[in-house]
Amino acid sequence: MLDAAVKGASDGITKPNAATINIPLPAHAIRMQAVADNPVACAQVYERTMDSVLKYLFGIEPSHKTRKSPPPMSARKCGLFGKMIAYFAVHEGQESKRLHMHALAWTDISPSLIQRMLDQPEAMHRICQRIDSMVRAFVEH
C-alpha cells in the first residue's frame, strides 16, 4: 500500500504541466511505521523531495548534484520567487526522526530593489505583477 502511494506521489510531482497536483498519502500510522521500518528509504524520499523543491519550485538545480557552475542569469528558469541567484540550506532531524530543511534564498527580486522602487508607482506595479504571476495561494473550504 505504501509503495503505491509513494509511486502516486512521485507521478504527481513530476508532471510539469499539471495545474493542480493531488498527492495521495497513506494514513499517518502507516507513514510512521514506514519511517521506523526503513529510515534509509525515508532519507532518500526526503532528498528527492528537497531536490524537487529546488528544481521545480525555485528553478535551480541542487548544487550538490553537479560540479558545474550554475548557468548565467539569462539562462536560469524563473522559480516561485523569481530567478534564483543563490541559496543556502541546512538539513536537520527532529527528535521524532523527521527531517526538515531551513533555507535562505537570494533571487533577482531583492529587498533592496523593492526598497529603491517604493517611490516609483509604475515600477512597484510591475514588481507586484511579477510576484503575483509567480505566487498563487488559496485555501479550499
Q: Considering only residues 16 and 126, tell me which one the structure prediction assigns the higher pLDDT.
A: 126
What was the pLDDT predicted at 119? 92
Neighbours of 83 (CB within 10 A): 17
Burial class (CB in 10 A: 0-12, 13-18, 19+), 60: buried
> What is the side-by-side order of every strand in the sheet holding 99-107?
78-79, 82-93, 99-107
What was the pLDDT predicted at 120? 92
What was the pLDDT predicted at 5? 42
Grid coordinates belonging to 14: 513530476
90: which strand partners?
A: 102
Mean pLDDT of 2-8: 45
| pLDDT score of 83 more than 80 | yes
**Tens-digit pLDDT profile for residues 45-79:** 888 888 888 888 888 887 766 677 777 888 888 87
Interatomic CA distance for residues 111 and 116, integer angstroms = 9
